[in-house]
Amino acid sequence: MNRHVEGIKKGIGKIIPKREEGQSKEDYRNLLVAKGAGILAFVLAALALVRGAAAVLPGSVTVTSSVNGKLLPISSVETDKKEVALSFEAVYGNGDISSILKTLKKHNIQATFFLSGGWVENYPDDVKTILSAGHDLGSIGESHKHMPQLTAEECLEEIEQAHTKVQELTGYEMFLFRPPYGDYDNRVISSAAKCGYYSVCWDVDSLDWKDYGVDAILNNVLKSGDLKNGSIIRCHNGAKYTAQALERLITGLEEQGYEIVPVSRLIYRERYHLNGEGRQVKD
C-alpha cells in the first residue's frame, strides 16, 4: 500500500505549480485556485486506484497466516482438484530460459517465475516474454539475500525495489513473493504482506540447483512422498539440467493425473488459514 500512497504524493507534486520568483502571493493563490479542479480530479482518481488495489491485498481479506505466533508462507494448498503449481526461480543467467518457455508453450502450461530485481535489470526482454506468454511474475527480492538477516526497513526495500523494476518495465503489479532460499521469519512475512504480497514457498523441491542430473530432478519430484493435490514445485532457470528435464517432468506429472497451473490460480486469495506445514486451507 505504501507504494500507492507515495505515487499519489509524487503525482500531486508534479501538478501543483511552484511559486515563481517575483510572483505575488495573490497571483500565486489565484493560480492555485485555477488549478484546483485538476488537482482534485487527480487525487480522486488516485484514491480510487488505491481502493482498488486494497481489494486484492492480503491485509484486506480474511486470512490467517500465523500458527502459534509464527507467520508462515504458503507451501501448498488443500484442494480436491488434481492440480499442482510449477514455479521457477530466476536469479542467475538466462541461457536456458528460451528452452524452458518453449517446452511450457508446447504443453500449453502456465507457470510462475519468481524474479530477482537483478535478473529483471539484466534480462528485461526475457521478463516481457515471460509475461506475454501468460506466466505469473513473482518476486524473490531485489538481490536474493537471506532476508531474516535484514532490518524491517531493509526487507521492505528488497521487495519494493524489485516490484518497481517490474512495474516500470511491464506495468504488471506483482503480488507473489518467495523468500530467497526459503529463509524467512515473522519480519519477512509481515514485510511482504505490507507490500501487498502473498508469501509462497514450496512443498516439493526438485533440487535442480545441485546439478545431480536429469534423473535426480525427475525422482525428486515425481517420486516425492510430498507430491499431492495442491503441491507447489520448486525449480530454477540457470540450473544445469532443468531445461533438459522439463519435458519428462511435465509428462510425468500429467501421467499421474495432475494438471499444472500457475501459483496465482492454485492459491486461495481470501478466507483461509495455514496449518503447521504452511498448507493453505479454505475457511
pLDDT, one tens digit per residue, over 211-225 is 999 999 999 999 999
* Model pTM score: 0.79
Per-residue pLDDT at 66? 77
Residues 235-256: what's their mean pLDDT?
97
Q: Which of 163, 177, 127 is nearest to 6 (CA)?
A: 163
- Angle 55-141-114 (CA atoms, 0-180°, nearest 5)? 75
Question: What CATH topology corresponds to 64-282?
Answer: TIM Barrel (3.20.20)
Q: Where are the domains of the chain?
A: 2-55, 64-282
Kindly give the residue spans of alpha helices, DSSP state H, lying in 16-94: 25-54
Per-residue pLDDT at 5? 47
Q: Give the residue carrying C-alpha cell 521492505.
A: 156
Q: Which of 3, 281, 58 is nearest to 175 (CA)?
A: 58
